[in-house]
Amino acid sequence: MTAVEARSDSATATGSAVLDLVLRFRALGLVLALAVLVGVTASLNPRFLSGQSVRDLLFAAAVTLLLACGMTVVVLTRGIDLSVGSVLGLSAYVTGSALSATGMAVPLALLLGLAVGAVCGALNGAIIHFGRVPPLVATLGTLYVLRGVVYFAAGGSRINASDLPRAFLDFGSGHVLGVPYLFAVSVLVLAAVGVFLGRYRAGRDLYALGSNPEAARLAGVPAGRRLMTAYVLSGALAGLGGVLYAARFGTVDASAGYGIELDVVAAVVVGGVAIFGGSGTALGAGLGALLLTVIDNALPVLRIDQFWQQAIVGALILAAIALDRLVSVRAARALRRKGSHVD
């Protein structure tokens, strides 16, 4: 009895230690890749590290980073949210219209965007949980439906920078200590999501649901409520992304955020979140988003033909998932060896 307990204890301890190491190695690998890329680019063109250039980079990364956090939460549960681009478009248009009509304050606009996104996310969650529709299908459907709604609402109109309140545009282009407000918002969200996933019961439950849904249910995880939480969170963050998008570009038309879902999924995958759930961190996804943005920005500086950009992103996704597979196979083998040792 005690022997069994001791063994299982030691097994879980080594397990999580190895896992921790793998995860840390994963984040470390991303940081390393980022450092090399930035180093090479900067050595060829020092202006890449100028204040302005770094600010531009952070501006560009803000929206993808935010959406990647939401996507991580959903992907952890073995789900996916393809509708984020359409949700972003809808939220950007709704907040843009509200801002130009009423000139509301920035925090109110952020809340409005969050609310619009949360409603869309709740719709996704309801279809998936109550309708028992697979996430890929449900969110592909809402991708079309919500984009159609944006087209209906916006038609051929466009919200111009001159329609938006000054304070909102200043929020979009302003920065504190060299860090754009938009990026600061995204990083705050990233930290919050990271803490939620790592330290809170509801967050840990998402990992359990993703690793083994049946076992998690039997262990008493309220699957329905957790799934709803995940999709509402992803929707709300996409909605918030819509507000940041409107603030950054100052121009919103019916195609805002079109096709961004693939970038976000790419960022999450490159960031080491397993597409079949149960493993990955918000920090990894954030680093993935940052890496993709840096590549986008480095190519023109390195004078690499911009036609190569998409091909490089594709190759990177393949490399990332292949690497993860390799690492996890190694880790599993190491675990097994450890296990046999104890025996």
Partner 1 sequence: MNRRRLTLLTAPILALVLASCSGTTQGEDQGGGPGGDASADPNAEFETGLTYAMLPKSVNNPYFEASSAGAEAAANTLGGEFEYTGPSDASASSQVSYIDTLSQQATDVLLLSANDPNALCSSLEQARAGGTVVVTFDSDVDPGCRDLFVSQVDSDEVGLTLLEMAAEQIDATGEIAILSATANATNQNAWIDVMEAELASNPSYADMKLVDVVYGDDEDEKSFSETQGLLQAHPDLKAIISPTTVGIAAAARYLSGTEFKGQVALTGLGTPNQMREFVQDGTVTEFALWDPTALGELAAYTGAAAASGIITGAEGEVFTAGELGEFTVGADAVVTLGPPTRFNAENIDDFDF
Partner 2 sequence: MTDTAKTGPRLREAARTLATWDAAIIAVTAGFLIVASVSVEHFGTARNAGYIVLDLAPILLLALTMTLIVTTGEIDLSVASTVGLTGAAMGAMWNGGMALEAIMPLAVLLGAALGAVNGLFVTGFGLPSLAVTIGTLALYRGLAYVVLGDTAVADWPRPFTGWTLGRIGESAVPNVLVPLVLLAVICGVLLHATPVGRSIYAAGANPVAASYAGIAVGRLKFWLYVASGAMAGLVGVLWTLRYSSARADNAAGLELTVIAVVLLGGVSIFGGKGALPGVLAAVVLLVSVQNALRLAHVSTEALTVVTGSLLIVAVLAPNALVALRTALRRRRPTANGRTA
Half-sphere exposure of 170 (CA within 13 A, CB side): 6
Question: Do residues 85 and 257 touch, judged by C-beta distance below 8 A?
Answer: yes
Residue 97 in the binding site for partner 1 (CB under 8 A): no
Nearest to 91 by CA among 252, 223, 205, 215: 252
Residue 155 in the binding site for partner 1 (CB under 8 A): yes
Closer to partner 2 by Cβ: residue 142 or 281: 142
Tell how far CA 59 is from the center of its chain: 16
Nearest 10 degrees: Cα torsion 209, 212, 218, 224: 30
Residue 275 in the binding site for partner 2 (CB under 8 A): yes
Residue 142 in the binding site for partner 1 (CB under 8 A): no
Residue 299 in the binding site for partner 2 (CB under 8 A): no
Shortest reach from residue 310's CB to partner 2, in Å: 3
**Can you tell me the distance from the alpha carbon of 191 to that of 235, in angstroms, rounded to the nearest whole number?**
18
Q: Which residue has the tokens 């204890």?
A: 9
**Binding-residue total with partner 2 (CB under 8 A):** 45
Shortest reach from residue 46's CB to partner 2, in Å: 28
**Can you tell me the distance from the alpha carbon of 238 to that of 94, in angstroms, rounded to the nearest whole number?**
13
> What does each C-alpha distance from 324 to 52, 80, 230, 278, 317 come to in angstroms?
35, 19, 24, 14, 11
Shortest reach from residue 171's CB to partner 1, in Å: 12
User: Among 19-27, 130-138, 208-216, 221-229, which window interacts with partner 2 (CB under 8 A)?
Assistant: 130-138
Shortest reach from residue 56's CB to partner 1, in Å: 5
- Other C-beta atoms within 10 Å of 329: how many? 10
Q: Residue 80 touches which of partner 2, partner 1, none (CB < 5 to 8 A by kind)? A: partner 2
Question: Do residues 41 and 97 touch, judged by C-beta distance below 8 A?
Answer: no
Query: What are the respective helix, strand and coil percentages of the chain, to the nearest 5?
Result: 80, 0, 15
Residue 144 in the binding site for partner 2 (CB under 8 A): yes
User: Among 25-33, 183-191, 236-244, 261-269, which window interacts with partner 2 (CB under 8 A)?
Assistant: 261-269
Question: Which residue type, as a one-letter code, is found at position 96?
Answer: G
Nearest to 207 by CA among 274, 277, 134, 156: 277
Taking CB under 8 A as the criterion, the residue among 167, 321, 331, 334 binding partner 2 is: 321
Residue 149 in the binding site for partner 2 (CB under 8 A): yes
Positions in the binding site for partner 1 (CB under 8 A): 45, 47-48, 52-53, 56, 60, 151, 154-158, 160-162, 173, 249-251, 253-255, 296-297, 299-301, 303, 306
Binding site for partner 2 (CB under 8 A): 80, 127, 131-134, 136-138, 140-149, 151-152, 259, 262, 265-266, 269, 274-276, 305, 307-318, 321-322, 325
